[in-house]
Structure 1
């Protein structure tokens, strides 16, 4: 009997291998028709939603995909962020939450197509628009151009990325049906030769699926590449969409809205959480789908911009404006992945346009939440009393010149005998606190165009400290290339340049190795640490309303930033990063140092006056 069982098992495995091999070899075709996309020669209307793997804990990728299916989506759109995959030049990371290939494979397993947007410029309210900070170490390099240094770095990256993604294209039996080159390039420039270089790089790297560009309606003349499908962003009038694409695609479709905005993002210091009424958005979606137009909603699920990876807007008409860590986006799935009213309305609209008899999966349940009334913060790390070895130079150096990506740098010099004067920092990027002999004198904020403070009653040979924070490099617009951070020019006192600087690097890429004391810090920024025990886990939201400005680590995960100016007053904590048993929290606060506890809420405060 044992021999029979072994023989039967061998037969089962043999046919399983045949079946698996057949599935892996299955091929589909995806082509452009005159008015629609064609999957295996039959019309396919893409009903797509944008999600980014780095903004969602890996443990929840599949769950979010299932939610997409439940709303009626058949496709996922996704950017790829160069700066997380090559954080240091020549060192690549496609592991953990950066495993973009696994993200695509899970989408396939859940029956979803993927529109891949590796650009490598993405905008996306993401630090430096997705470009890695180290490109700025060369003062003369121009990103998003034909600069040889930029193109060489770009080429190496896109070939590495293709190793991950090219095998997952529909041409290889995968589920990536289209690949976007560049991103809203018409809002930046109009160099068709540069666009064609992008095309060639993608093809040489192995991206042989359909290529397309996308631009806002007014920027399409500059941003489209002749001979390739131009998609439109931000337009949802069906007649206008069709007329515009016809104009730049030889009088025919298919018609694709690559970014349709059912919500919007938030920036620090704005007066409210940005929203789009659910009923209004649902009506627009109905019109687009009824016209047979394919659509990608940006965002279907935004998630959270964790770490120091938020970007910022800046142009000649508005001041520097960094974005919040919460990327809730008023999307159909909220920041924690819960279905909203918008989700349910969209689901009803989409169901109307699906073939008769189609049954959507059930709406996912809202996640369990918990509230922790009080977590004791009982040990403290005094930042200004725990500085490492400095870099010394006559003139202040930028973050990039210091070989530092993100975080903070403390700039220190010794003043002379002058008793008072106007301290001015030329091109401060982006937020600075001024101390004299360890006492805070003033705050400088690029958002408010503050770059100077008056110093008075100075003792002879006082120690001047300027603690500078990178609040996020610009991710959109003409100033994208002017993105070096820290003190990027010079510091002067009554017009006389100050020299002889010591610079202390505080990147906080990890919180390991910090020295703590039970004594509460009286002056300067602090890291407050707490250890707490849980009997159960669930999603929760850190309540930061009594805190100043900073960021939070929980069990080794950088959860994101907070700032008392709002609008966001909480930080989302995913249940999968909490533990039954002992948990550790570390709260860095730049402005307030008297914390002895922190609590959590069971719902977010995305806007708190």
Structure 2
């Protein structure tokens, strides 16, 4: 007969086992989740729907969420923003995962620095927050191409967000790498992730009935075991669901919650109500105004959502910044690019400062979570108004061309995505310069995305854009260089996106005859570009040749603080500080200042570079406060 070898003292061993069992039962009786460290919990059931309520293990759970996007916040400030989310009375962090930033080239992945998703999620756990992960692959988020990588568009037959083989192959490879990083951080594995979203707002797209089941299976096959959710606005709610995932709604006003109520009744399945996105503000576009929402309205809506028995997530709790060229665009009759700031009139400002929404929500949520006092809000981070920076040195674009990478030569214009650069992955962001020779004046015809300045040699002769596809060439002396500087201002992030290729689309014709033999320079404005200009700068003349790069410096003696840059008397371009791309500026507004994070500065000399397209100023000013433009209330 088989026997257990319990050692020399079986009674003592059995007694120890009984003591462990008894301790477990006592801790469970005493709400042991509050006694043991989180990583020691016995996690079996996770977050789940039980009738009209969520349960976390065996306890009723309300999702009080807030959105922060790690990729829009300097890594050095992640902890500050998470502590503020917790201090507001929220218990759950939600974040998107941007595929285009994590896989900038096919098969080349980046989860480092400001893209270190795992560290961000572990910080959330350290603060005491749960996590709802929204991995896409499409995320919208007012990002270029909704977070999808532009190299997908190299395939002329590409059908984004469908089960088209070219798309699913790319998603599978991306999910292989992403899920290997997040699966160990799930609740049932001891981590903070309690739920995962299946795609994003697919009901508004609804192009392929097999797509959502494919994404759900792709998540599950790679080890996602937590509660699955879908997320749609009122118009797409019924079309975006998939079996086995809880439907949630995105809304701007409380009245839209009735759409979710009606959907639940129509399915005859009792489920918890969840607002995945309650829009605390709204994003801004160039040429419009700064959108805001009244703090009292936000508070009243949050109260009403809880009274209606609904969990919620504040989108955004903290918006942050579209650093670099990550911003998206809309094109509903008219193309409009999103501004650099993603302040969103959120609960925290772009720089992480408190707003009236924060104080009102904290006061209210402190009564909702009355069992435990809320953590003390962190102190505000200091701001500084540095001395103005004068720009005495510059380099015209035409002189800078020899320091760029070798141009692509092609008989015909190529769109940015199909340029044979970046290991065959094309150009994702920035500008491209198309150059060829002409010998006669006349009418130039071309389709550009999104805006193209036309030059004969170095003289500007007109602009091509969505509404203007012709430019008159007034004069040509012998062989002249025709140059078209095209800017990608941001790919559309919502709606049909298959046609979002940038640069020159199709032929360039002069007097209806197609031009050939192009040189195409890629101007991605990457950090490694500016050291090439060392010792090439020249003094700024009284009338500078534009477009051009301008450089100046500021010396900071104290530990650096956040600041806001003002480019008065400049027209349109991009700003770089110590090689980092702060984003675009444009005098049409609404945004008048660019957020400059203190961690991107250092004690000593800091280099500033401005790429200006049309009209250059001579100085950049700094302020302790932002100016995001004239206000427009969202009703």
TM-score, scaled to structure 1: 0.92
Residue in structure 2 matching 1:370, options 361, 384, 402: 384
Alignment of 1:149-298 (within 5 A): 149-234=166-251, 236-237=254-255, 240=258, 242-247=260-265, 249-270=267-288, 272-298=289-315
1:388-431 CA distance string (max 9 Å, x none): 432221110111111222111111111123x3x222212x1111
- Distance 1:494-1:608 versus aligned 2 partners, 3 A rule: farther
**CA distance, structure 2, for counterparts of residue 544 and residue 249 of structure 1:** 55
2:470 maps to which of 452, 465, 470: 452
Deviation at 1:345, TM superposition (A): 1.3
- Superposition deviation, residue 459 in structure 1: 2.6
Shift of 1:608: 5.5
Assess, with a 3 A threshold, how the Cα gap between structure 1 residues 248 and 474 changes in structure 2: closer, same or farther. Answer: farther
Q: Which residue of 2 aligns with 1:4?
A: none
Moved more, 240-249 or 110-119: 240-249
- 8 Å contact 1:547–1:589 — kept in the other structure? yes
In the alignment, the residues of structure 1 paired with residue 238 and residue 630 of structure 2 have an alpha-carbon distance, to the nearest angstrom, of 42
Contact 1:541 / 1:571 at 8 angstroms: preserved in 2?
yes
When Rg is computed on C-alpha atoms for both structures, the one with the higher figure is 2
Return 5+ residue gaps in structure 1 as ranges.
1-19
Pairwise CA distance, 1:357: 4.4
Please tell me whether the aligned partners of residues 67 and 364 of structure 1 are also in contact (alpha carbons under 8 angstroms).
yes
Deviation of 1:208 after TM superposition, in Å, equals 1.3
Q: What is the Cα deviation at residue 579 of structure 1? A: 1.3
Q: 2:459 aligns with which of 430, 435, 439?
A: 439
- Find out whether 1:42 has 2:59 as its counterpart: yes
Kept in 1, the 8 Å contact 2:194–2:227? The answer is: yes
C-alpha separation in 2, matches of 1:526 and 1:239? 51
- Which residue in 2 is equivalent to 1:414? 437
Aligned-residue offset at 1:217 = 1.3
* Residue 248 of structure 1, CA deviation: 5.8
1:524 matched residue in structure 2: 546
Q: Distance in 2 between matches of 1:398 and 1:193?
A: 31
Q: Secondary structure at the match of 1:104?
A: helix
Find out whether 1:392 has 2:409 as its counterpart: yes
Distance change in 2, residues 1:249/1:52 (3 Å): farther
RMSD: 1.9
Q: Conserved in 1, the CA contact under 8 Å of 2:65 and 2:93?
A: yes
Does structure 2 retain, via aligned residues, the 8 Å contact 1:301–1:328? yes
283-292 or 241-250: which moved more? 241-250
Paired residue for 1:563? Answer: 586
Aligned CA distance change for structure 1 residues 190 and 407 (closer, same or farther; 3 Å): closer
Q: Give the direction of change, closer, same or farther, for the CA distance of 1:148–1:58 in structure 2 (3 Å limit).
A: same
Cα pair distance change 1:215/1:457, threshold 3 Å: same
Distance apart, 1:242 and its partner CA: 5.0
Q: Is the 8 A contact 2:556 2:603 kept in 1?
A: yes
Shift of 1:239: 5.9
Distance 1:250 1:160, change over 3 A: farther
Stretches (4+) displaced over 4 A: 20-23
CA distance in 2, matches of 1:88, 1:248: 44
Offset at 1:258? 0.5
Distance in 2 (CA, whole Å) between partners of 1:22 and 1:107 is: 15
Q: 2:361 aligns with which of 323, 327, 346?
A: 346
Shift of 1:323: 0.4
- Give the deviation of 1:486 after TM superposition: 0.3
Q: Is the 8 A contact 1:339 1:364 kept in 2?
A: no
**2:317 aligned to which of 300, 305, 326:** 300
Measure the CA separation in 1 of the matches of 2:503 and 2:397: 18
Cα shift at 1:166: 0.6
Query: CA separation in 1, counterparts of 2:331 and 2:256?
Result: 31
Unmatched runs of 5 consecutive residues or more in structure 2:
1-34, 420-425
Note the C-alpha offset of 1:50.
0.5
Provide, for residues 114-170 of structure 1, a one-character-per-residue CA deviation record: whole Å limited to 9, x for no partner: 000001100000011001111111111211111111101100101100111010011
Q: Give the equivalent residue in structure 2 for 1:578.
A: 601
State how many pairs are aligned. 579
- Give the equivalent residue in structure 2 for 1:600: 622
Normalised to the residue count of structure 2, the TM-score between the two structures is 0.88
Comparing 533-542 with 92-101, greater Cα deviation is found at: 533-542
What SS does the aligned partner of 2:179 have? Answer: helix
Deviation at 1:577, TM superposition (A): 1.4
Corresponding residue SS for 2:297: helix
Report the equivalent of 1:470. Answer: 488
* Residue of structure 1 equivalent to 2:446: 425
Residue 382 (structure 2) pairs with residue 381 (structure 1): no
Distance 1:539 1:434 in 2: 38
Cα deviation, 1:13-42, whole Å, max 9, x if unaligned, reads xxxxxxx99753424322111111101211
Given candidates 368, 375, 378, the residue that maps to 1:361 is 375
The Cα offsets for residues 538-570 of structure 1, whole Å up to 9 and x where unpaired, read as 111000232121111112221111111111011
Provide the rounded CA distance (Å) in 1 between the counterparts of 2:488 and 2:259. 39
Structure 1 residue 144 corresponds to structure 2 residue 158: no
Match of 1:87 in 2: 104
- After superposition, the C-alpha distances for 1:516-540 in whole angstroms (9 at most, x for unaligned) are 3232262221111112211222111
Match of 1:313 in 2: 330
Deviates more, 1:533-542 or 1:103-112: 533-542
**More deviation in 379-388 or 251-260?**
379-388
